[in-house]
Amino acid sequence: MKTTVQLLEELTNIPSPTGDTQSIISHLGSILDEQHIPNHKTNKGGLMVTMPGENDNEHRFITAHIDTLGAMVRAIKPDGRLKIDLIGGFNFNAIEGEYCTIHSENKSFTGTIMMHQTSVHVYRDAGTAKRNQENIEIRLDEKTSSIEETRALGIEVGDFVSFDPRTEITSSGFIKSRHLDDKVSAAILLQFLIQHKEEKLPVTTHFFFSNNEEIGYGGNSNIDPRVVEYVAVDMGAMGDDQQTDEYTVSICVKDASGPYHLGLRKHLKALCDTHDIPYQLDIYPFYGSDASAAMKAGADVKHGLFGAGIESSHALERTHQESVDATEKLVTHYLFSPLSE
């Protein structure tokens, strides 16, 4: 059996910008099929697994999202380079200098995301020009210098663009990569399903690999009416005034949508205290999750959120094996615990 970190590395290397997630969903489905774990795709393209529990009258719903930040071709510029439109909430400077792949209808092309005014030998404002849609472009690794030549390659407006993850696991236990949000959590849930597929949980639980979280509506549907608890396993945000770190599991008490359910939060905290799981309670000020999206959609559930601490979210991210381990332990103890009060 692969380790969670091995699964994580495998998942980060499968391009899956929001809107173009078929490949990774099929990959997850193949792994589950090989393990003889029943699963099905939803109409929106997500993937659902249901594990039976002793209590089948009240259900749990737990989700991790496999869609990532990305871009689309906005226009082909007169010199053959590409203008892009962002998918997800991040800044243009977070992708400057990154290698990328353009996924056209019949073929993929590589390129580099860079400023038009990159050369300091030519542009006086190379360092000061705004990093925005007008100035950031994709330099294709193809012989093209016009709209017509680029279009002849098969590239068109609306083609998806994925960013190279550059995944690396260091000897000191750090995991550096794009898209740790939220493929860390997806790997954890996948590992749980493989490890515990023969066991019966205390509560019937639906595992949902969501594919539209980065644009705000990944897990707000497909919720069985018997679900009473909804937990999003997602990243913990780090920065000034944040408690979250790279070595513990982060339990969110409030994000931009408002407070999370107090009773469920206390239940998660008590599990950490009882089982010696290192954790931090935190507020994420500019953040939304599939759990908060479900609440806005009208789901009548207790909602919670926790996950590994991720440094430099929505850019070149990093976490540590210790944070992954802590999150994995909380997932396991939560799913084998009774419902919260």
Task: Confirm or deny that 36 is annotated as ligand binding.
Answer: no
Burial class (CB in 10 A: 0-12, 13-18, 19+), 172: exposed
Q: Is the pLDDT of residue 157 over 60?
A: yes
Q: Is the pLDDT of residue 143 over 70?
A: yes
Using CA atoms, how far residue 283 sits from 242, 263, 320, in Å, is 7, 17, 20
Dihedral, CA atoms, 306, 309, 312, 316, nearest 10 degrees? -100
CA distance 117 to 125: 7
Task: Confirm or deny that 98 is annotated as ligand binding.
Answer: no
In three-state form (DSSP H/G/I as H, E/B as E, the rest C), the secondary structure along 200-236 is: CEEEEEEEEEECCHHHCCCCCCCCCCCEEEEEEECCE
In three-state form (DSSP H/G/I as H, E/B as E, the rest C), the secondary structure along 261-283 is: CHHHHHHHHHHHHHCCCCEEEEE
Catalytic residues: 213
Q: Is the pLDDT of residue 60 over 70?
A: yes
Ranges of H-type helices in 62-157: 147-153
Q: How confident is the prediction for the chain on average, in pLDDT?
A: 97
Nearest to 180 by CA among 9, 24, 2, 18: 9
Q: Is the pLDDT of residue 2 over 90?
A: no
Q: What is the pLDDT of residue 341?
A: 85
Q: What tens digit of pLDDT does each residue of 62-84 get?
A: 999 999 999 999 999 999 999 99
Prior bond of 182 cis (ω within 30°): yes
Q: Over pLDDT 70: what percentage of the chain?
A: 100
Q: Name the DSSP class of 52.
A: -
Q: What tens digit of pLDDT does each residue of 172-225 get?
A: 999 999 999 999 999 999 999 999 999 999 999 999 999 999 999 988 999 999
Q: Is the pLDDT of residue 26 over 80?
A: yes
Kindly report the pTM of this predicted structure.
0.97
Q: Is the pLDDT of residue 290 over 80?
A: yes
CA distance 238 to 223: 30
229 falls in which pLDDT band (50, 70, 90)? very high
Task: Confirm or deny that 214 is annotated as ligand binding.
Answer: yes
Contact 44, 221 (CB under 8 A): yes
Contact 97, 179 (CB under 8 A): no
1 falls in which pLDDT band (50, 70, 90)? low
Q: What tens digit of pLDDT does each residue of 250-265 get?
A: 999 999 999 999 999 9
**Residue recorded with tokens 């749980």:** 192
- Identify the structural domains of the chain with CATH numbers, from first to last: 4-68+179-335 (3.40.630.10), 71-163 (2.40.30.40)
Q: What tens digit of pLDDT does each residue of 325-339 get?
A: 999 999 999 999 999
CA distance 338 to 182: 26
